[in-house]
Amino acid sequence: MSRLAWTAPAALLLPLLAPSAVPAPSPAAKTYKIDSVHSSALFRIKHNNASYFHGGFHDISGTIVHDEANPAGSSVEVTIKADSVSTGNGKRDDHLKSPDFFNAAEFPVLSFKSKGVKKGSAKEELEVAGDLTIHGVTKPLTAKVAHTGTGKGQRGEVAGFETVFTIKRTDFGMNYMVGPLGDEVQVTISLEGEIQ
């Protein structure tokens, strides 16, 4: 048998033997479904280089896998509907949904999908790395996420997580009105998940 004939099946088996890039969660890992009603996705942006202006989204969904014993087995997937942006002013919300900013008709969702989780430097802190997609542009993002608590909800255990990070909207192709509206956007994501 030729050398190639021996090596080809071995090469196919190698990925099975090698450790996976994202470790599987341990049996102790808990899966939570994001509760849109008790989760917040807020943003803060500078207006006219003077004040900070706040807004948010109210349609948030996704899943959190939290493995306390083995943080590397944790993961998170969050999806936010662009059309749910709200700033307390109907016309401004329409403007934010328009092609000038989020272009909600062409890019209906904002999303984050984790690629790796490790324990953070502080207690109850995780360092989550993944891909953030806004306005059809995907960029890598690493955020420090605090596990804010665990409690009892109507359908069982609930857990809370929160992160604050800053992005540049121009990195995501949202280039209109940079100047009157700042480029840097501070994002606060606060999630409550119900155990599955």
Partner 1 sequence: MILDALLRGVLVPALVAGVLLILIDRLPGREGGRGARNWLGAIPLAAGYASTQVALVGWPAFPPRESTHGLFYIAIAAALLSPLATARGIRAPLRWIATAVLAFGVPVLLLRSRIVQRWSAGESLLVVGALGSSLLAVGGAAGTAARLPGPLSYVVLLIPLGSAAGVLGLSGTALHAQLAGAVASGLGAGFVISLTRGGAPASPAMARFSSILLASVLITGHFYARVSVASALLIALCPIATACTEGLERGRSLSMWQRTLIHILGPGILGGTSLGLAVRAFLASDAAGF
Fill in the DSSP letter of residue 70: -
Output 87 or 150, the one with its CB closest to partner 1.
Answer: 87
Residue 63 to residue 13: CA distance in whole angstroms: 31
Q: Closest distance between partner 1 and the C-beta of residue 42, in Å?
A: 20
Q: Closest distance between partner 1 and the C-beta of residue 48, in Å?
A: 8
Q: Which pairs with CB-CB distance under 8 Å and at least 24 residues apart come from 79-84?
A: 79/109, 79/110, 79/111, 80/41, 80/109, 80/110, 80/111, 81/57, 81/108, 81/109, 82/57, 82/107, 82/108, 82/109, 82/110, 83/59, 83/108, 84/57, 84/58, 84/59
Residues that bind partner 1 (CB under 8 A): 48, 89-92, 94-95, 97-100, 103, 105-108, 135-137, 170, 173, 175-177, 179-180
Q: Closest distance between partner 1 and the C-beta of residue 176, in Å?
A: 5
Sign, CA torsion 79/86/90/92: negative
Output 170 or 196, the one with its CB closest to partner 1.
Answer: 170
Output 108 or 149, the one with its CB closest to partner 1.
Answer: 108
Start-to-end CA span in the chain (Å): 52
Residue 73 to residue 184: CA distance in whole angstroms: 32
Q: Closest distance between partner 1 and the C-beta of residue 89, in Å?
A: 4
Q: Closest distance between partner 1 and the C-beta of residue 99, in Å?
A: 5
Output 2 or 49, the one with its CB closest to partner 1.
Answer: 49
Helix (H, G, I), strand (E, B) or coil at 14: helix
Output 108 or 151, the one with its CB closest to partner 1.
Answer: 108
